[in-house]
Amino acid sequence: MSDKDLQDQQPTPPSGEKLQKVLARIGVGSRRDVEAWISQGRIKVNGVEATLGLRVDLHDAITVDGKLIKRVEAAEATRRVIMYNKPDGEICTRDDPEGRPTVFDRLPRPKEGRWINIGRLDINTTGLLLFTTDGELANRLMHPSYEMDREYAVRVRGEVDDDMLERLKAGVMLEDGPAKFTDIQKAPGGEGFNHWFHCVVMEGRNREVRRLWESQGVVVSRLKRVRFGPVFLNSDLPMGRWREMSQNEIDILSAEVGLQPVALPEMNLKAKDRLERMQRKSTRPLGRGERVRTLRPAQEGGAERPARAPREEAAPRKGSRGSTVAERPSEMRKRPARAEGDKPTGRGRGKPRG
């Protein structure tokens, strides 16, 4: 048999690109979102209901819920990321049948694509949420294989001893499988039976932090995410406000999951001025009328609230906590030891601060 015959017998490589990857890249949704929509029959290609694994090219017409997706090359090359300090009472969905406020209500509207939330926080959890217009970046940051750790500040009510902390780090069995904190550090603050901790998890499972503590018979009374991977929530971003990340910050975050840098789109003077005005507005604390509170159940059995311990003299407020986005771990390991008294510019991953 000739070489030509062998070549003729080899299978032709599939043409095009997987549908979920295309739609994720242009910001229609994350890969998980798109796969779910395909399974629900919400996506059609050239008028035919799409199937998982379907490949498409630039000549194919794609619709989601009957709306034609515009595939502009400029939009595919855009990667924007914003940080949002989520307040209590907002849910991580675009539309809520009950009419509750959502995390998308306060975000700016992107010119191309749409914001994709990188993970979720439940309605009573506050703190750092990331949003991007790049579905591939969102997918990688959420995928367990990239091991993006999440750090939380948590206040628990009840007796906490060293044995309990060791069990939580060693791992406990929850209803959806084993879970653990990769690290726990005691934090200052708390009165009586209330204790503050900083703890780290490597997954984004539903209510995982709360369920881990509840498995030990204590109650989480406050929960705030303060870090996602290399991105820290600094004190200069008020609750309920957002900030767009810089090109350098986005490049560091992208490199964490093996993506090449993509330049932010050029803006004219009018667009820059508008963004600066929005950024200035987003740094102001929420007004009283803008705040949302969720109703919490009354204490069971009419139990009286325990008396507060005397308040200690307030310590002076700390300044900035350093860089919003930490350096790459590989670069941090190369740094010389910090001299005593030097102020750090960023923190390593995996260990809570506090």
Report yes or no: 144 and 203 within 8 Å, Cβ to Cβ. yes
State the pTM of this model. 0.67
Per-residue tens of pLDDT for the chain, all 354 residues: 565 555 555 555 566 788 888 888 777 888 888 999 999 999 999 999 999 989 988 788 899 999 888 775 444 557 899 999 999 999 998 888 898 999 999 999 887 778 999 999 999 999 999 999 888 899 899 999 999 999 999 999 999 999 999 999 999 999 999 999 999 999 987 777 899 999 999 988 889 999 999 999 999 999 999 999 999 999 899 999 999 999 999 999 999 999 988 776 665 666 656 666 666 665 566 655 555 544 443 344 444 444 444 344 434 334 444 457 764 433 433 334 434 444 333 444 555 655
Nearest of 191, 178, 180, 179 to residue 222 by alpha carbon? 191
Q: Both tokens of residue 149?
A: 């750790």
122 is catalytic: yes
Q: What is the Cα–Cα distance from 326 to 332, expressed in whole angstroms?
A: 9
Q: What is the Cα–Cα distance from 170 to 246, expressed in whole angstroms?
A: 38
Q: Which domains does the chain have, with CATH numbers?
A: 13-71 (3.10.290.10), 81-282 (3.30.2350.10)
DSSP per-residue string spanning 12-72: PPPPSEEHHHHHHHTTS--HHHHHHHHHTT-EEETTEE--TT-EE-TTS-EEETTEEPP--
Q: Both tokens of residue 97?
A: 């049948």
Report yes or no: 262 and 165 within 8 Å, Cβ to Cβ. no
Active-site entry in 122, 176, 236, 273: 122
